[in-house]
Chain A
Amino acid sequence: MAAKRKTPVKTRNPDLIRGVGKYSRSKMYHKRGLWAIKAKNGGVFPRHDPKPKAPAAADKPPKFYPAEDVKKPLLNKRKPKPTKLRASITPGTVLILLAGRFMGKRVVFLKQLTSGLLLVTGPFKINGVPLRRVNQSYVIATSTKVDISGVNVEKFDEKYFAKEVQKKKKKSEGEFFEAEKEDKKKLPEGKKEDQKAVDATLIKSIEGVPELKAYLAARFSLKSGMKPHELVF
């Protein structure tokens, strides 16, 4: 067989209607370059002798047959894509978190991670929201934008936020009855440093805009008489 092409060739003979090609047989002969191949081969179409077949390995009957035919699950080659980012969400947009621990907080959007989640930061100093992942559905995008050109978000990815795998410790009899000495989970220093690094540039650009700092520090809530469908974010 001829080597597979990396990009499939667009058909040389486009359909006029289904079943009727644009070019006739003789035209196609010319298009496919069969005349050139023949000329190269001395007027005859090249013919390759079939390669000698490799001796087929002796088929051993399998040791074990399942009692009933086992169905093979169909192949699934689907690769999920990250969720489409709403047009209103661009790096630097102020988002309002709608659910979870930081419900109502106004927060700065940094980037979308490969899983589709949004990477977001308070900044921590302003409203207590750390570098965090958030789902796009649980967020309202406002039209306020913060300049985050100075922030380096390259190093944050899904692995950064993965839970640390805790090694299961085997308990001996004595330890079993002791009160469980669990170390309180402390934030590793590295993460604190990362937070500070990201926030430092952010806070500078935030302080440049009048009242933005107080805006980010305040929580959003629906007050009496506010109609969400009439609000412009």
Chain B
Amino acid sequence: MVKGRQGERVRSKSNQYPNTSLVQIEGVNTKEEIAWYAGKRMAYIYKAKVKKNGSYYRCVWGKVTRPHGNSGVVRAKFKTNLPPNLWEIESESSCTPAISKLWWTGAE
């Protein structure tokens, strides 16, 4: 699993498009390197207080769809839209950081 950090949503100056999120994958810095990751599945994993299905971890699955810009940021679509406040969560030291992990199954 490769880790990535959640960025913002795809947006123009005053409009956001919540169905696509931007993800910065660790170690990937150019548009060309993204080719390997296209189509790979991602999971946004987070903790919750209540146990569900035997675990405190929950996850939202998604896929890398295409590169975004020239510097290795990636667009991803998740099964349900990711919450927009992930940047906030990361900055708070007490909460678990919003991690999205890349699974390289499916469409290898």
B-binding residues in A (CB < 8 A): 98-99, 136-140, 222, 225, 227-230
A136-B108, A139-B108 known; 16 new pairs, CB 8 Å cut-off, are: A98-B104, A98-B108, A99-B103, A137-B105, A137-B106, A137-B108, A138-B106, A140-B104, A225-B27, A228-B36, A228-B102, A228-B104, A229-B28, A229-B33, A229-B35, A229-B37
A229 contacts B105, CB within 8 Å? no
Is the CB of B89 closer than 8 A to any CB of chain A?
Answer: no
> Whose C-beta in chain B lies nearest to the C-beta of A99?
B105
Instruction: Chain A residues near B34: list those with CB within 8 A.
Output: 229
> Whose C-beta in chain B lies nearest to the C-beta of A137?
B106
> Whose C-beta in chain A lies nearest to the C-beta of B29?
A227
Instruction: Chain A residues near B104: list those with CB within 8 A.
Output: 98, 140, 228
Complex Cα distance, B104 from A138, in Å, reads: 8
Instruction: Chain A residues near B105: list those with CB within 8 A.
Output: 98-99, 137-138
A228 contacts B108, CB within 8 Å? no
Nearest chain B CB to A233 CB, angstrom units: 10
A228 contacts B2, CB within 8 Å? yes
Count the A-B residue pairs with Cβ separation under 8 angstroms: how many? 35
> Whose C-beta in chain A lies nearest to the C-beta of B2?
A228
Complex Cα distance, B108 from A98, in Å, reads: 10
Q: What are 12 of the A-B contact pairs (CB < 8 Å)?
A: A98-B103, A137-B108, A138-B105, A222-B1, A225-B27, A227-B2, A227-B27, A228-B2, A228-B37, A229-B28, A229-B36, A230-B33
Complex Cα distance, B34 from A104, in Å, reads: 23
**A-B residue pairs, 7 tightest by C-beta:** A229-B36, A227-B27, A137-B106, A98-B105, A138-B105, A229-B33, A99-B105
Complex Cα distance, B36 from A222, in Å, reads: 16
> Whose C-beta in chain B lies nearest to the C-beta of A136?
B108
Nearest chain A CB to B54 CB, angstrom units: 17
Instruction: Chain A residues near B108: list those with CB within 8 A.
Output: 98, 136-140
Interface centre among A98, A99, A140, A227 (most CB of B within 10 A): A227
Instruction: Chain A residues near B33: list those with CB within 8 A.
Output: 229-230
Residue in B1, B28, B35, B107 whose CB lies within 8 Å of A227: B28
Instruction: Chain B residues near A138: list those with CB within 8 A.
Output: 105-106, 108
Instruction: Chain B residues near A228: list those with CB within 8 A.
Output: 2, 36-37, 102, 104
Nearest chain A CB to B19 CB, angstrom units: 25
Complex Cα distance, B37 from A138, in Å, reads: 15
Complex Cα distance, B27 from A138, in Å, reads: 23
Q: Which residues of B in the span 32-70 have a Cβ within 8 Å of any Cβ on A? A: 33-37
Interface centre among A139, A222, A227, A229 (most CB of B within 10 A): A229
> Whose C-beta in chain A lies nearest to the C-beta of B40?
A228
